[in-house]
Amino acid sequence: MKTVLITGGAGYIGSHAAKAFSEKGYRVIVLDNLIYGHKEFVKWGDFFNGDIGDDYLLKSLFCQFQIDIVSHFAAFAYVGESVQNPRKYYDNNLAKALVLLSHAVKNDVKVFQFSSTCATYGHPEHIPMTESHPQNPFTPYGKSKRFFEEILRDFASSYPIRFSILRYFNAAGADPAGEIGEDHDPETHLIPLILDAAMGRKRGIEIFGTDYDTPDGTCIRDYIHVTDLAAAHVLAAEKALNAESGIYNLGNGDGFSVKEVIEKAKAVTGRDIHVVEGERRPGDPARLIGSSARIKAELGWQPKYASLDKIIETAWAWHQKRFQTR
C-alpha cells in the first residue's frame, strides 16, 4: 500500500483528494494547520495539526511514515490579499513549501504533486489556454505558484523525485455523496457566494462588470468539479510513480458567464437571487478557459461531473447541509 501525505487536506480541494486517494487504496496522512481548514473535513486517514514550514514536525512525520507521494494543497489563495501583503504569500506559498519539498527529497519521496493555478498564465494570449501558454502572472499569488513550479522542476532534474504540477481553473461543486464541500471564510468564489444569496445568508450577488466583450457582457470562467479535480490527482500521481513527471491543466475546456451561472443557480435552487450590477474589478480578463486535452490524452482523465447543473446541484446540496443548521 502506497502512502500519500496530503497537505491542506482539511481544506476544500485537499479533503476531496483525501477521499479520492483513500478510495483508490492509498494510505492517507493529512497535514493542515487549520488556519483555513476544518477538522471535520478530515474523514480519511490520519490527521496531524501542524504547519508545512515546521521543520521539527516534518522530521518526525517523515521518520514515522514511509511517504511515497506528497500531494501539496496547503497555501494561501486570496489574490487581492496577496497584492496587499506579498510577504505573507511568498512566506507560506514559497518559503514554507520549500521546507516541505526539502524534507520530501531528503526522505526519498517519489512524487511531489503541486496545486498550481491558471493564475500563473496571467492575461490570456489565446483561448483555450494550453500548458504551453506563456506564464506571466501579475499578482504575488500567481507568482508564488509560478516560482514554486520552477523550484520543483529544478529539484526533479537534480534529485530522484518526480512531480505533477496541476494548474487548476475554478474549482467548484461538492462531493456528490455530500460528505464534504466548500467552506472558505472569507468566501470569494462565485458559486458559493451566489448560493449564500439564494439561501439568504447574503443580501444579493454583485456582478463586477457587465460591459466585457462576451455575449452577455459578463466575464466567462472555466469551472471544474472538485471531485473530477481530485480524481485527476490520483491519475497524475500514478503516472509520476510509474513513468514520468507531468504538467497538466485542469478545467472543463468550456466556460460560463457570471450571468449564466446566476441563472443556472436560480433554476437549481428554485430561489430568487438579488443581483447588483457593479463596476469592473482591475485585472479581471473577459475570458479564462483552459484546455485539458493533455491530461485526457496522456492519463485518460474524463470529467464525470462537467455540466454546470451537476456542479451547482452538488454545491447546493452541500451548502444547505452545511449552513442551514448554523
Q: Which residues are catalytic?
A: 141
Q: Using CA of residue 280, residue 281, residue 285, residue 290, what is the dihedral sign?
A: negative
Nearest to ligand NAD of 78, 159 (CB atom): 78
Rounded CA-CA distance 183/192 in Å is 8
- By CB under 6 A, tell whether 13 contacts ligand NAD: yes
- By CB under 6 A, tell whether 127 contacts ligand NAD: no
Instruction: Look at residue 232 and give its three-state secondary structure.
Output: helix
Task: Out of 21, 26, 36, 112, point to the residue binding ligand NAD (CB under 6 A).
Answer: 36
Per-residue interface string for the shown chain with ligand NAD, residues 170-199, x marking contact by CB under 6 A? xx------------x---------------
Rounded CA-CA distance 86/125 in Å is 26
Nearest to ligand NAD of 32, 68 (CB atom): 32
Q: How far apart are the first and last CA of the chain?
A: 39
- By CB under 6 A, tell whether 52 contacts ligand NAD: yes
CB 171 within 8 A of CB 229: yes
Angle, helix 258-269 to helix 308-323, in steps of 10 degrees: 60
- By CB under 6 A, tell whether 11 contacts ligand NAD: yes
Nearest to ligand NAD of 49, 320 (CB atom): 49
Least Cβ distance, residue 183 to ligand NAD (angstroms):
8
Rounded CA-CA distance 113/19 in Å is 16
- By CB under 6 A, tell whether 230 contacts ligand NAD: no
Burial of 99 (0-12, 13-18, 19+ CB in 10 A): middle
- By CB under 6 A, tell whether 35 contacts ligand NAD: yes
CB 216 within 8 A of CB 287: no
- Site size with ligand NAD, rule: CB under 6 A: 28
CB 10 within 8 A of CB 37: yes
Least Cβ distance, residue 32 to ligand NAD (angstroms):
4
Rounded CA-CA distance 149/166 in Å is 10
The distance between the two most distant Cα atoms of the chain, rounded to a whole number of Å, is 56
- By CB under 6 A, tell whether 37 contacts ligand NAD: yes
- By CB under 6 A, tell whether 247 contacts ligand NAD: no
- By CB under 6 A, tell whether 75 contacts ligand NAD: yes
Q: How many residues does the chain have?
A: 326
- List, in order, residues 6 or more apart from 325 with CB less than 8 Å away: none
Rounded CA-CA distance 59/39 in Å is 23
- By CB under 6 A, tell whether 80 contacts ligand NAD: no
Q: Of all residues in this chain, which one has the CB nearest to ligand NAD in the complex?
A: 11
Task: Out of 71, 82, 113, 117, point to the residue binding ligand NAD (CB under 6 A).
Answer: 117
Task: Out of 3, 4, 47, 51, point to the residue binding ligand NAD (CB under 6 A).
Answer: 51
Candidates 45-53, 82-90, 214-222, 273-281; binding stretch for ligand NAD (CB under 6 A): 45-53
Least Cβ distance, residue 116 to ligand NAD (angstroms):
7
Candidates 12-20, 61-69, 102-110, 146-154; binding stretch for ligand NAD (CB under 6 A): 12-20
Instruction: Look at residue 151 and give its three-state secondary structure.
Output: helix
Q: Which residues contact ligand NAD (rule: CB under 6 A)?
A: 7-8, 10-14, 32-37, 51-53, 73-75, 77, 92, 96, 115, 117, 168, 170-171, 184
